[in-house]
Chains A and B, each alone.
Chain A
Amino acid sequence: MPALDYNGAATPTSNPYNSNQVCNYLLVGQGAALIEAEMLVAPRYARLRRLLLSQTSPRQADVLLVAGPVNLRLRKALLRLSRQLAAPYQILEVGNKVGLPDPKQSLYTQTESLAKFLSGVHVHTALQDKLITPPQIAHALHALPPLPAAITTNKQATEGPGDLIPQRSSEDREMATEDLTLSLGPLHPAIYGPLRLILTLDGEQVVAATADSGYAHRGLEKAAEGHPPAAVIAYGAALDGLAPLAGAVVVAQALEAIMLPEAAKLSKRAIYLRVIALELERIASHLFTTARLLRTLNLDGKAAQVLEERAKVVSALEIFIQAVDNAAVSAYIKAGGVRNDLTPAAFRMLEEVTGRLRYWTEQEFTPPDLFGWVGRYAFESRLKGLGIIDTDTALEYCLSGPNLRASGIKLDVRTVAAQTNNYNDISSVYQELGFEPIVVKGGDAFSRYHQRIAEIAASTSLIKKALKRLPAGSYQYKLELDELKPQFGMVPAEASSLIESPRGLLVAHLALTLVPGKGLVVERLRLRTPSWAHYSLLPQLLVGERLDDALVVINSLDIAPDEAER
């Protein structure tokens, strides 16, 4: 594999950039959202975008790019989708073993290649067990064999569009309007990740909605059982592709609560470093959600600018945690501390990024800058009053995170000292930094949009303060996990911990037990994910909205299907 320079300076001859073959791809799967965010808009892939064009319809795609793990339900959906492609086409599967530290453990995730189920079409598999970056995908796409020659005959009927028009039944002949049942997802261009909703439409208005989950379920908690304690952090990190660190931290905290001796304290420096990483990740995630909302509104240009910012934040994060590639992000968090200390280069990078972000948030992310108030009015009219969650509903459905605070409830786990036996509580650091939860009133999509932007600003200032007050000391606990001898017998030792992930309240409950012959293993891991609560509210929230508004509402809630379904 030749070294590729994707900054466009000197390109070797084997570089796919030099081939002039345009590739239309349709990106689906659990990893699609992240890859698309990188690939479509990040400036460093501008040259890539010339040749790799994302399509929204399967009819115009050359390559169906399946990113991330495929579970059994999603596989059926993919089989159907592959029949809608126009010949000649190929299917490229990337990273289908990513998402679980050990994919063979899971009963739900398919580890065989799709090629087994699709004969007669060209299925290729690449980069099975790595997390994927756009250049890698570009390379894999260009490494594909040439498309088979175009078939000129039109004899063979292909799969028609899925949604046939329902015929009216004879018993239902009153002059009432007829409902239309529309399946939104799991592979819909405006929905990120395999999320499916079955909408009943009256005209364009949603009269009923049903959530159909299960396309992203990987059996993460079950798969974690039986592993040694050191491995369980990786399962927490696999929870959410957009925020691996939050999952890793919450599991690590639970682990520390069990394993570390009663008197032991994590060094303040380690917690500060964790806070910086978490806040950077929160900024990146919120920027991504904002961009996703903007793209739903067809504001691709503005979304691109936001995603550029995100790319900078992500690269700062990568430098901060000294990640070699994406796969190493979660390895930063270790039980008892973090993997590496803050380097001077990372310090400079963080200062630069926070400076930029301050500039950005001062501009208040006014996305449409056409004629001032015209653009602003158009933008607000698409968001205001949509998907209103009042405080009662928000509490009733156990919402958390920005969605809850956008409904006017001042609750942020970062300021709440944990009620569990976790004595190395991260909230004390937030209190030291003088963090106050941000609350925006209104509860509609516009409030949620503003909530996220305000939280980006708050996180920026948190990072600045943390860098300023970073205490000296060790960044790791003095002993490795293996050397610890926790004092309990066959009764499982349990601990919970909670954290404010970018999407809300993330709780991990971990039980370790001593198995003769195997030593200390994970008895049970339970993760309470914030997106699941938002997902369950979604059907109720959509009723009464129009179809185009419904997509705005879905994207304003920031539901990560892989996180929700674990």
Chain B
Amino acid sequence: MRTARLIGTLAACAALAVAAGCGGDDEPEGGGGAASGGADTGETITMWTRAATQTQSERLVKAYNASHKNQVELTVIPTDNYQARVAAAAGGKNLPDVFASDVIYAPNYTSQGLYLDITDRIDALEFADSLAPAHMRLGTYEDAKYTVPHTLDLSVLFYNKDLYKKAGLDPETPPTTLNEFAEHARTIREKVGGKTYGTFFGGNCPGCFVFTFWPSVWAAGGDIMNEDGTESTIDDPNMAATFQLYNDLVKDDVVFPGYKTEAGPTWTGFFGKGNIGVMPMPSTTLGLMPKDMDIGVAPIPGPDGGESTFVGGDVVGISSTTEKADAAWDFVSWTLSEEAQVEILAKNKDVVGRTDLADNKYSAEDERVVTINELVEKGETPYSLNFGATYNDPTGPWLKVARDAVFGDDVQGALSSGKESITASLAQQ
């Protein structure tokens, strides 16, 4: 039954692709790639976004619709189905006028011509040089720009100031090295004890490892892959030092229980309960924390210093098959305006996609938001066409390597032997 269903799905995709001539190699159509400036002419624009960034997309669309003649019809698609839906729609040339994408998967779409080349339109923006650099890098393919930042989600350290005080630590001095982070976590576990633990991480969640461990390597000047994302450099000494540090914390019972099976759905839910000292978290969860909880925010450091972040989130672009490119650009460019960035994103404690607006009237009220916004410039977003299958898929090679390293007895050995399987997956055609 399930095979029949799967076969049906595959066949449906095939039928769509056959009917449409499977247009991967086709020249992008739909007008105005080279034109600049949008058009608010009362058009109806369709847009797709994934559920993970639904809130931000809905706020932007609502505000745009209220102030423009153009109207955006937003469709939110479950995150797990998003890639398959986009791919099937691309095969049938049924893509919406505008669609967002997890920034990690943007290269898969730009390389296949799903987005319209909007290089000239982007370059014409006064603030073009201030757009989040990591997001712009992944939205650029063969020197042409296809997407702009839509929503940003950064990994940062959250620390519980009340627990810091209880443990005799200075709540205004967050860790500046990963070793200090481990020291603080140990101190909290030792001094407060009971049901309070030093830290937490998603030990069965491949994406969580990427999001929270890799910044420590970047902070120390190392890297996890080569430039074009086809070869793993996972045996970098800073990666080994990071895993070793967490490995020791696990062995010393400093990590909040449940870390070994945490597959992702609930890994951000425990910090807000108040019995975890310090842990890497997504910046978008800051606004969801209990109001009465005194939380400090700090950049993720490297083993001996430095700071970095994983710049996650979504990019947005105009589909190559749209016939409403000017109206679509009117919306897309408006989402980057100071009005949208400050009055919609920053006002709701979201990270702005422009570095020139990092310090704005809302972030000034909360120094934690300034800390997060300033990291946008320093952070990284890794590039690889096989990123999802290698690093995000629980059946991919990365999760096994990460678990062997963090729970096993030989960190360096696990990373060295895992390097081969990861490279094989990255290089797979």
Do A and B form a real pair?
no
Q: Which B positions have Cβ atoms within 8 angstroms of A? A: none
